């Protein structure tokens, strides 16, 4: 009888732990989405702002320069909350749809796959060292060594 009671107590503790972890994960995901993303650029990019249409045009490889003529190189994250928010807010695409779009560009010889990084930290480091690079990170990510562009 004692063994059964201990088993029930252990199961109750495990269930409480699982519920707590799920709640923390949901809260963290909600905060990441609520915080949004910021668009960053190499400090050599003279622009201080970018329109949504211009940003979309650069990432969809319809153009490789900003309105002021500055050559830019778009950089993607391979996944994560910032990537999902960026795709939804600025490109109006899902990741699978974007991958198909890029593959079509490559297959037809009209474009190349943009550089992709694994994390916000890697994004900041790559954009900081790459002339003309433009990317995005979670709004909570420190952006030392890069410039944050206002999206209009």
pLDDT in tens, the chain (152 residues): 666 666 667 666 665 655 454 444 444 444 333 359 999 999 999 999 999 999 999 999 999 999 889 999 999 999 999 999 999 999 999 999 999 999 999 999 998 899 999 999 999 999 999 999 999 999 999 999 999 999 99
Helix (H, G, I), strand (E, B) or coil at 116: strand
Across 66-98, b (16+ Cβ under 10 Å) vs e yields beeebebbbbbbeeebbbbbbbeebbebebeeb
- pTM metric for this prediction: 0.75
Contact 66, 59 (CB under 8 A): no
Alpha helices (H) in 2-76, listed in sequence order: 2-35, 52-59
CA distance 130 to 80: 22
User: What is the pLDDT at residue 1?
Assistant: 67
């Amino acid at each position: 009888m004692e063994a059964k009671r201990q088993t029930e107590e252990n199961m109750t503790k495990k269930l409480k732990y699982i519920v707590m972890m799920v709640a923390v994960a949901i809260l963290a995901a909600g905060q990441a989405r609520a915080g949004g993303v910021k668009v960053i650029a190499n400090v050599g990019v003279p622009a201080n702002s970018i329109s949504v249409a211009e940003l979309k045009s650069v990432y969809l490889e319809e153009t490789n320069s900003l309105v002021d003529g500055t050559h830019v190189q778009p950089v993607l994250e391979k996944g994560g909350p910032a990537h999902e928010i960026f795709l939804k807010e600025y490109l109006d695409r899902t990741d699978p749809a974007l991958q198909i779009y890029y593959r079509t560009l490559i297959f037809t010889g009209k474009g190349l796959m943009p550089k992709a990084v694994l994390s916000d930290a890697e994004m900041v480091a790559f954009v900081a060292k790459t002339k003309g690079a433009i990317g995005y990170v979670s709004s909570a990510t420190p952006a030392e060594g890069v410039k944050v562009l206002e999206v209009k």
